[in-house]
Structure 1
Amino acid sequence: MKRETLEAVVADLRAGRVPALTPEDVRAFSEAATAGDSHIGPETLTAIAATLTEADIPTFERALRALDEEDLAWLGFKVVYDPAAAVSNVDNEVTKKYGKEGSADDEPLVFFCNDAKEIVASRPLSPRDVFQAKDVTRGPSMHNDQFDGLTWVSEPLFGKVRVWLLGASDAAVEVAALADHVGFHVIAVDYDEAFLNAERFPTAERILLHGGTFDELANMPARPDDYVCVLTRGHMFDPEGCIWALQNGVHYVGMMGCAGKNATVHDLVLAAGVAEADWERVKRPIGLKFGAKTPAELAIAIVAELVDVRYRERYSETARERHEKSLGRA
């Protein structure tokens, strides 16, 4: 969510105006995100915005501070579609017990929650509400439809990790779709429009190079927190992709290919002046190992690895241990 959106909400509430929130501001309420769900849609956000008052200002101010501190945090939304059920529906025989109280009330709510599970809201939450508020802000949603009468959605207050797909191969097509689905910002790069086009990469940012090579890649800066997947067609430009990623010092770089081909790429990369220690940063072959062979299967392996890298980057060791223990994997 953008800073100017949060600042505008605070200004409107201080002036006694109804804030103007749109699905462009809160993508969790967009038509794409809510398709097929009869309980929630773009109009739901407008209805929730109309319920906000001056008492909600601290929630949005805390969200602004999270942006300043680059905190791993979310703005969450409690959506009530059946008030009676939301309040009366309590624990079942399967879920963890939170008492005989359902939701604290039958009204919608906007709240702030961060990875430290600090919650800021204009009204008290019941124990079950707290459970749901924390659950929906894991990254960004888990069991948000667990209880009847209400649902929960959230919008991250932090940016997406950028994933560069160097090469518009068939595997890259599958990676682009899946990486976008799990919340990455995908940038696909190639020199041939027959492979790099809107039909093959409908959700990705596309960069079309010129000259039939990847030479222009050298003029494009990457950020230290970017991820790079070297997936060039026929592996023809894998050395250039690895050199560019390593020279830009990206957080993660992985390359597809067999050991023999990768040894050749190794020699070409080092011949270009890259140090052996930097070459060792290249994950090869890219992706988790579980027998994937087809482009779609390889995409699952690759994106699963990207998710794991992001998880380890964003969450402290203590937080990861706590999460693994909660799942019985510690």
Structure 2
Amino acid sequence: MSAKPLEQYAQAEKTAFVFPGQGSQKAGMLADLATQFSLVQETFTEASDALGLDLWHIAQSGEGLNQTENTQPILLTASTAIWRVWLSLGGVLPKYLAGHSLGEYSALVAGQSLTLTDAVKLVHLRGKLMQTAVPQGQGAMAAILGLSDEQVLELCKTATDVGLGQVEAANYNTKGQVVIAGATAAVQVAIDQAKAQGSKAIALPVSVPSHCSLMKPAAEDFADALEQTAIELPKIPVIQNVSANVAQDVATLRLSLKEQLYRSVQWTATIQRLQDQGIGYIAECGPGVVLSNMAKRLPHLEKTFALDTPSRIEDALNAILVAEGHIV
């Protein structure tokens, strides 16, 4: 845990942190960081104690890592551990935080809207509810590449009209890359239609059709847990998935977290919002490089960073401190 209040850290004006969601996990993640920084193990112990699970063992061995109810708390904990290491090294506070899907909870922990203990309990439940909302094999997701957002929406409508179930836009990741989700048969129709139009469509290896209306039953159950959890407005502004806006009150924040389960992730708009606010540097606070690689497509972004190894953190720390005028 950070040794001093967030208010005592230097404030960045041109840097944002983004936190990844499911898909960034891999067995052995953060092993190098853990050998160098005791904060990593301490953070995993704190989260493990909250759930009664050995999250570090699962993360390192890979046993059960891809079960949604395990993946979500482990990724949240990994991102939180990296955030704490960043602060311990004298890193500046980002001007904004944002997280992709599950990553929104990591952002809220970093901004002290949620405690790590409460957040891992929430996302563990979130994973269970998502897994049970749709029977195995009845939901699917696919990435559609090379079509505009409008074309993808039309594709979803056409595929749904076939009558095999609903398919919807789930993640607006970048221009020309939209993930769709829905009933398995309907998603397959959309894949076939997209290929027939000459675009690329890739079925994703997921067990849960996230961010579509099939998740509404899970969202209703999850809302009760959200209401019973202490949540504050973040001390660092967090751009929320469903609106690409910063919540102005806790009620809106809670509602957005509920709706996030069945509404589209507005990541393209989120990253554009960051750029519109003068952000030139984006650091991905979590395992992997998915979000930092997507951000590289922005025309006016100066640099992106990943923070999942000691050397990458050191590079980002030095570059951001120089860019923000906080050379130590």
TM-score, length-scaled by structure 1:
0.27
Larger helix proportion of the pair: 2
Higher-Rg structure is 1
